[in-house]
Amino acid sequence: MLWPNGAGMTTLLKMLSGEVQPRAGQVLFAGVAAHAQPQAARCQAGLVRTSQIPQPFEGL
């Protein structure tokens, strides 16, 4: 996703992963309200945030 700074990309990703709830409306992913799903269901759908450094510790 490429958007200019301040366009809300981080907020959208936080809503998809369940870190924050929308103040109004809903966030749909594949027709399902992603923000309302339990964490396990979001993980199975691949809606998780990860670090930009996938292996921060050498040897792990």
Mean pLDDT, residues 1-30: 83
- Indicate whether 21 pLDDT > 80: yes
Structure-block tokens of residue 14: 């936080």
In whole angstroms, give the CA distance from residue 15 to residue 59. 33
pTM greater than 0.95 (yes/no):
no
- 33 phi and psi angles, rounded to 5 deg: -70, 95
Above pLDDT 90, what percent of the chain? 0
Give residue-wise pLDDT tens across range 34-59. Answer: 878 888 888 888 888 877 776 667 76
